[in-house]
Amino acid sequence: MNKKYFIFLSIFFTIIIGSNKCNAQLTEVQVGELLLNIDSSIANVKSVIYKIDYKKKHLSMRDTIHTTAVCSLYIAPKDKMKAYSVVDGTFNQLNTPKYMHRAYDGKKTSWANCPVDSLSEIIKPEIESNNRKREAVVENYSDILLTEYLNQKKPFGKYLSAVGMIGVNEENLNNVEVYVLTIQFKDKDDVRDNVEKHYIRKSDLLPVAFSSFLRWENMEQYNYYEVDYLVINPNITPEDFKIEKDETLNAKERYAAFKEKIRK
């Protein structure tokens, strides 16, 4: 078994097992109220800047992909992608750390990847305005855009008719008091052991971590990310996300700014 995969899977199951230590003992009515209150808190987020640490392994992948990024989002419910975004971060590809830039303004996407050890001051990102292609670009990095929460009008309201299937526990995650909502889906066809966990900060009922796991045939898939909100509802507008068709990026400068933000 791949060593990184074994370590990550061990951590994942430690999280699942550890979160059951403190049962919140909520009634189904109280769980329903909690779901509504979480949805209300999420709905109050109109724009946000956050850093995210994300690990994933999809079914056919051998290795875990690790992405760290700072994301700026402006929620746009009428837009097909639900938010305008600017992302700067790093990921590992073939054991090579790379800087990544992604942006979407509702009309165009901008993206670039550069090895961290050979960043240049000026790079020309790929700009895409074709509908299908730009949507494909956003889908490619949507894992770090909090789509479990911000892409839906009431992400937890859909469970109101089945509150009995949701386990609620209390836990300390990185010195933050959280509710842990566990949803165990029924096995069907070849999909087994399908579990989602939502870590909701008790102070303001915003999600601060998410994990999922499932087995399909003889393959396994898992995702885990943690979120650190830098600014909630900053004074930004759609104009701040505008992409020029001939724009360039100072990769060295943006990478340095990204590193500074994740150190805070």
Confidence of residue 16 (pLDDT cuts 50, 70, 90): very low
Domains of the chain in sequence order: 22-263 (2.50.20)
| Residue at 18: amino acid letter | G
Residue 220 has φ and ψ, to the nearest 5°, of: -125, 150
Please provide the DSSP assignment of 194-216 as one string: EEEEEEEETTT--EEEEEEEEEE
pLDDT in tens, 164-201: 889 999 999 999 999 999 998 888 878 888 899 999 99
> Could you say which DSSP state residue 165 is in?
G
Spatial distance between the Cα atoms of 245 and 155, rounded to a whole number of angstroms: 35
Torsion sign (Cα): 55, 58, 63, 67 = negative
Give the whole-number percent of the chain exceeding pLDDT 70.
Answer: 90
Longest dimension (CA), the chain: 57
Q: Cα–Cα distance between 22 and 217 in angstroms, integer?
A: 33
- Vertex 151, ends 100 and 207: CA angle to 5°? 80
At 25 the pLDDT is 76
Residue 23: per-residue pLDDT: 52
At 38 the pLDDT is 98
Strand partners, 49: 72, 231
Which helix (H) or strand (E) covers residue 127, if one does? strand 126-128
Express each pLDDT in 78-135 by its tens digit: 999 999 999 999 998 677 899 999 999 999 999 999 999 989 889 999 999 999 999 9
Q: Which amino acid is at 190?
A: D
What pairs with residue 207 in β-bridges? Answer: 200
Phi/psi class of residue 82: alpha, beta or left (left: φ > 0; alpha: ψ in -120 to 50)? left
Cα dihedral sign for 53, 165, 162, 58?
positive
Percent of the chain with pLDDT over 90: 70
Which residues are bridge partners to 72 per DSSP?
Answer: 49, 86
pTM over 0.85: yes
